[in-house]
Every structure is written in C-alpha cells, then in structure tokens.
Structure 1
Amino acid sequence: MKRRIVVSLVAFLAVGLCAALVWFNFFRDKLIADIFANMPRPAQTVAASDVKTVTWRPGIAAIGTARAENGVELAVEISGVVKDIRFSPNQRVEKGSVLVQLDDAVERADLIDAEAALELGKSNLARTSALRTRGFDTQAQFDQVVAQVATARSKLERYKAVIDQKALKAPFSGTIGIARINPGQYVQPGTVVATLQDLDSMKVDFTVPEQVIDKVKIGQPVRFGASDADLGRTGKIIGIDPRIDPQTRLVSVQALLDDNRDRAIVPGQFLRVRIDLPPEPNVVTVPQTAVVTSLYGDYVYLVEDAAGGKPGLTVKQVFVKVGRRDGGLSEVVSGLTPGERIVVSGQNKLQAGAPVKIDNAIDVTTLPVRSPTTR
C-alpha cells in the first residue's frame, strides 16, 4: 500500500514538473518582454544649452598669399664678368645704390675716346663756322662737320649707357636676399642676381567664389592672420579681377596691408583672410555640436519634461533647417524657437523619448571649431 502511494506521488510530481516546464517555455518570451517593458530605462547623461538669438557677424573667408608691394628678381641687362658684389644677404639697401658691378674697363676706355672725338668735333665745328661766316667754306662742309659732332655725341652717350648698365642698381629701397652669382662669373643678360623685396608694404592675393563677388567692393576692410583665431592684421581691398576663372569659378582679389613695418608678414606667406560684412541682429543660433546630420536631414534633440507628469526629462527629435556656420555656431533658419533647450553633447546614444539628465560640467559650446572657407 505504501509503495503505491510513493509511486503515485512520484508520478504526480513528475507530471507537475513537466507541466510547469511546458508552461514556462510557452510563456517565457512574453514574461521576459513584459519585464523589460516595465523596467525603467536609465537616464543618459548629456550636456544641454538654450537656443539663443545673437547679432550675426557674417563674412567671407578665404586663403591668401602675401607678396611685397614692390618686389622683383634683380637681373643684369648686359653680359659681362662680375667684378664686385656690394651687398650682403638680408641687407637693407636704398634706391639707386649699386648692388653688382660688372667689369667695364673696356667701355670706360671707349668713353675716353668718345669724349676726345666729341671735343675735336666741337673744335672743328667752331673753325668751320668762323670760316663760313667769312665765305671761305661751303654749306656742305659745314653740314658735314655738324653731323660728325652729332655722331661723336651719340657714341659718347651710348658708352655712358653701357657703363651704366654694367652697374646693377636697386630700383627701390628694400631688403635684398641671397646672392645667386659669384665674383669673376661671366653672366648673360637676364641672369638673376638676387631678390629685392620691400617688406614695409605688403599685398595679399586671394580668391573668392563667384556667388559672393557682388558683396566684395574696392576699399572694403579686410582682416588677415596666420589662423582664424588670429586675424589681427588689417587692410583694405585695392583690386578685383573683372573676370571669373571659368575653370575654378573663382575671382581674384588683392588687398593692401595697412602696416607691416615690424616685417612680421613676409612674401609668400600663407594667410587666412576675412572680409567682414554688415552685422545681422536677432539670428537664431545653436552650437554646431548640437546638430546631427543624417540621410533624412539635420536634426537636434529637444529637452522636455517627462510626459504624464512623471519626474525627469526626456528628449524629442526635431528636424531643423541649418543656414550659415561660424565661430562654433550654426544658424537655424527654421525648426526651433529661442529659449528652447537642446542637447549639445552626448547624442550618440539617444533616441526619441529617451530619459536624460543634464550635466554641463564641460561647456562644449566654448570648444574651438574650425570655420568653413566661405560663409
């Protein structure tokens, strides 16, 4: 009897266990889904900032190259042997000073001969003129002597010009570079001797897109610098090319620096250029870090109070139309209202309706952001 009871009890327990296993396997997925559905999501930590209106200071940014207002590659005009080099590298030279002297011994000897011939011609002209007034000489003889004097004077001036060409002089005051010739070297016309640059007055050549050429005017103020954060040099536009390059669709512009007497800017130097345009008030802006770009457009996460009176904050995905960008800010043409709070950092793990908590320990809106080339 007892044995039957034990067997029945074991059989009952086995059947119950099998039924429990079947029930658990059948309802397991639903139970797990219900547990996770009712489990509160942890709040993501983000940084947030208010949508603001600012006075937008638009401008046209470009990349330029500095060059001296007066700058040349000095070259000899005539062939000859270098007799003397009268400058040192980086020396300040004055206008008209002799920089290179070619051997002119033969030309100076010819000059003495030409001077003697001219004096002789003048003496003959005086005698012929006196004889002609007395009727002892003909008009033809007188004209011949006059022509001889003119020829002698022409030769004299030509020798002077050749001697002057043998001395290479500075066409303007400036700083001269490294000599590219040596004493005793035979040079041909056009041989470059050195570069001469007037570093006190500098120009900057740059280009702008054809879409903004109507905003560029002669005399417009311009700022220059080695980077966007350092545009301390000022100047003004002095030239605009009347032709658009059909290959690049760019227009060449030239500006003159106001002052470079400290010679901090040198020819060939890379410079950032910005043409400031009239300011625009009440422009709606957000930090550039707040805007997320996707295949469907640009959007931001708007911070709101949790729905249903629940404590905490949630985010809402809002698509926006972004305009210009400058100095770490993006212009919002539509989609946001000033005063609304948006997420500016930590969006990579967010989705619409996600709970968030705000931590602005690090102000990402003050981090440097490189400005685009044209704004």
Structure 2
Amino acid sequence: MKKRQNLLAAAAGIGLLTFLLLLGCKPQIPEGSAGAPKTSPGQPASEPSSKPIEKASAGMGKEEPSQVFAVNTTQAVAGELIDYIELNGDVLTKSTVDIYPDTFGKVSKLLINVGDRIEKDQVIAEIDPSKPGMIFVPSPVKSPIAGTVSNIPVYVGSTITQGIPIARVTTTDNLEIRTEVAERFIGKMRIGLEALVSFEAFPGEIFRGSVTELSPLVDPASRSLEIKVRLNRLDPRIRPGMFAALKIITERKWGIVKIPVDCLVRRYGGTFVFVVKDDPAASTGKRVERRPVTPGVQIDEKLEIVKGLRPGEVIVIMGQSLLEDNSVVRIVGEVPPLPVTDTIQ
C-alpha cells in the first residue's frame, strides 16, 4: 500500500513539472497581429525607422546625365545654284527635200547611193521616156539642194511618174533638236537659253547648244509648247533620228545660301535644321539649336535657304532623326560643304 502511494506521488510531481515547463515556453505574439495586446488610448505606438527611406529618396533625387547623340555635320555655303529642266527630244534636219522627175518613164540609171553627199544641181538619175515605136533621149534628174541622200524608194527599171519621188535629200549640216515643254514651264522659256545635250550613243559626253525657236502656239491636246535647240558646233557623229536628252538652264542664282537637302527636317508641320552650338556646360561641349528655315528651290540634292540660316554655320546632316532643341551631340564626322560654284551632273 505504501509502495502504491509513493508511485502516485512521483507521477503527480512529474505532471506538475511538465505543466510548469509548458507554461514557461508560451510563444510571443507579434505586435499588430490578431492576438497582440492592444495599446492603451494615450500610449503612442512605436514608429519604424525612416533611415532606409531617406537613403532611397536621396538616390532618386540625383540628376541623370543627359543623353548624347552622335551626328555628322556640314556647313552652309553662299554661292551659285543653277536651275534647269530636263527634256527629251529627237534630232531632225532643218531641211528635207523629196526629188521628183520631170517626166513619165522608166528609171534607166541611178547615180547615187544612200548616204552620199551631193551638191545642188547634181544629176542623180536618168529617166527614159521612150514608148513602143518612139525613142527619146533620157531625161536627167537633178537635186535642187545640196545635202545627204537619206532615202531612195525606186530602183533601175522602175516605171515612175512625176508624182513619185526618186530620192530624199537632207541637209545634215543644219541639224536641230525638237522637244516639247510642259505648260507649267512655259514662263521660263526664252530664245537663247543654254542647253546641255547628251546622246545614248556617246555616254558621258556633253554637247552644248541653245534654244533657237519657240512655237507661238500651245498644243491643246498635250498642253505643251514645241521648242527647238541647235548645237553650238557641228559634229558629224550626230545624225538625224537620234534620241537626245536635254537640260535647259532656266536660271543662275548667285550669292544664295545653299545646303545639302539631307540637312532639312520636316516635322511638326514645319521645316527646320539643327545648328550646332558651343556649350561648355554640355558633357561634349556641343548642343544643337532647332532653327526654323524657309527653303527655296531644290536642284538635285542641293537646296536653297531663303531665310533662317547664315553662311558658315555648322548644321547636322546625319543623325538628326532623334534630335530635339538643346540636345547634346558629339560630332563623329564632317561632310565637306557644297562647292561655291555649281555644276550640273
């Protein structure tokens, strides 16, 4: 009996010790959670530290470095600009004559060949007017002009009348080029304008001429004006029927400001260029100014600037697509300016 009481007492002691141990190991409840003790109305809540936020704010307030754009530049130039219009035409003879016989009969002789140079009153053929039972002296056919034989539509033995031509003679020493000008360019046309002529048969070679004739009428069907151009020097290589490409110089402007057309930017409904300026505050020492300009005539890749730009100013020619006013730039290349004296390619 006594032994049983001792066992019960030992078990009770162990149970009490276990309860005390569990009571001492109760977990702490985080402040602000559902089980956390509430703060008294007058007691201020503990505040978190603001030092990390202050550091982040200081980092966000630091100014970012300006973006730098790489550009190529050139200079505006004061000089000459040649205005011209391009046309196509045909080489023609100023005079072409068909030669007819004086009588009916058969062609008994042909004394010429195509391409022969003949003189005025030279005999080119003979016509035999003989009939059965009647013999006549052959009738000579003479050329009324000097020139080159361009066509012989008959042959020996042909029977012809006074209405059939024996040959065609052209004056190749007085060639001209006939072309037509659109109505919108008629106001620029006048006799004496300089013309630059080229032929496919002679690539790279330029022949100089001038406008010699203007038609008094405008073709109502094509709305164009016929003009004629004559070469300054006779060249035996130029033949009737050849195709000619012409550039008629309508105006020469002197002392105008000109730039490559690639410098001009059309944006926001306006036209402007980017002028490079020195700026010690910029990281590269260079900034651009967006300068509005008034463009004039454009000839090939050259552009006249009527207002807004001065000769010698440095402007951007490549790399301006992303530029804005006051953008910082770095010049990575310089393009030679346009020549003062203009030329036509």
Q: TM-score, normalised by structure 1?
A: 0.59
| Counterpart position of 1:253 | 227
Tell me if structure 1 keeps the 8 A contact 2:84–2:248.
yes
| Counterpart position of 2:22 | none
| Counterpart position of 1:44 | 70
| Counterpart position of 1:184 | 157
Written as runs of structure 1 = structure 2, the 5 A alignment for 1:277-296 is 277=251, 279-292=252-265, 296=269
- The answer as to 2:40 corresponding to 1:68 is no
Look up the SS of the partner of 1:359 in the other structure: strand
Look up the SS of the partner of 2:173 in the other structure: coil
- Percent sequence identity is 21
Deviation at 1:173, TM superposition (A): 1.6
| Counterpart position of 1:196 | 169
Structure 1, residues 304-340: CA drift from partner, whole Å, max 9, x if none?
3358343243444444332212364211123323222
Structure 1: which 5+ runs fail to align? 1-33, 113-159
Structure 1, residues 137-189: CA drift from partner, whole Å, max 9, x if none?
xxxxxxxxxxxxxxxxxxxxxxx9xx46xx3x333222223544433344566
The structure-2 alpha-carbon separation of the partners of 1:308 and 1:96, relative to structure 1 and needing over 3 Å to count, comes to: same
CA RMSD between the two structures: 4.5
| Counterpart position of 2:304 | 331
The structure-2 alpha-carbon separation of the partners of 1:293 and 1:40, relative to structure 1 and needing over 3 Å to count, comes to: closer
Match for 1:94 among 98, 112, 119? 119
Look up the SS of the partner of 1:302 in the other structure: strand
Deviation at 1:226, TM superposition (A): 0.3
The structure-2 alpha-carbon separation of the partners of 1:93 and 1:284, relative to structure 1 and needing over 3 Å to count, comes to: same
| Counterpart position of 1:241 | 215
AA of the residue aligned to 2:208: R
Structure 2: which 5+ runs fail to align? 1-59
Match for 1:271 among 225, 240, 245? 245
AA of the residue aligned to 2:218: I
Deviation at 1:97, TM superposition (A): 2.1
Look up the SS of the partner of 2:262 in the other structure: helix
Deviation at 1:272, TM superposition (A): 0.8
Tell me if structure 2 keeps the 8 A contact 1:93–1:173.
yes
Higher strand share: 2
Look up the SS of the partner of 1:241 in the other structure: strand
Q: In 2, Cα distance between the equivalents of 1:40 and 1:331?
A: 34
Look up the SS of the partner of 1:90 in the other structure: coil
Tell me if structure 2 keeps the 8 A contact 1:199–1:266.
yes
Single out whichever of 348-357 and 84-93 deviates more from structure 2. Answer: 348-357
- The answer as to 2:190 corresponding to 1:224 is no
Single out whichever of 90-99 and 65-74 deviates more from structure 2. Answer: 65-74
Written as runs of structure 1 = structure 2, the 5 A alignment for 1:1-375 is 38=64, 41=67, 43-46=69-72, 48-59=73-84, 61-72=86-97, 80-106=105-131, 109=134, 163=139, 167=141, 169-177=142-150, 179-187=152-160, 195-218=168-191, 220-226=192-198, 231-235=206-210, 237-260=211-234, 262-268=235-241, 269-277=243-251, 279-292=252-265, 296=269, 298-305=271-278, 308-326=281-299, 328-347=301-320, 353=327, 355-360=329-334, 363=336, 365=338
Tell me if structure 2 keeps the 8 A contact 1:66–1:271.
no
Q: In 2, Cα distance between the equivalents of 1:332 and 1:107?
A: 85
AA of the residue aligned to 2:254: P
The structure-2 alpha-carbon separation of the partners of 1:223 and 1:370, relative to structure 1 and needing over 3 Å to count, comes to: closer
Deviation at 1:225, TM superposition (A): 1.5
Higher helix share: 1
| Counterpart position of 1:153 | none
Tell me if structure 1 keeps the 8 A contact 2:275–2:313.
yes
Q: In 2, Cα distance between the equivalents of 1:333 and 1:229?
A: 34
Q: In 1, Cα distance between the equivalents of 2:246 and 2:308?
A: 33
Q: In 1, Cα distance between the equivalents of 2:160 and 2:120?
A: 23
AA of the residue aligned to 1:233: R
Q: TM-score, normalised by structure 2?
A: 0.63
The structure-2 alpha-carbon separation of the partners of 1:342 and 1:76, relative to structure 1 and needing over 3 Å to count, comes to: farther
Q: In 1, Cα distance between the equivalents of 2:285 and 2:102?
A: 85
Return the structure number with greater relative CO, CA threshold 8 A, min gap 6. Answer: 1
Q: In 2, Cα distance between the equivalents of 1:56 and 1:225?
A: 19
- Paired residues, what number? 284
Tell me if structure 1 keeps the 8 A contact 2:193–2:248.
no
Q: In 2, Cα distance between the equivalents of 1:350 and 1:104?
A: 90
Single out whichever of 239-248 and 184-193 deviates more from structure 2. Answer: 184-193
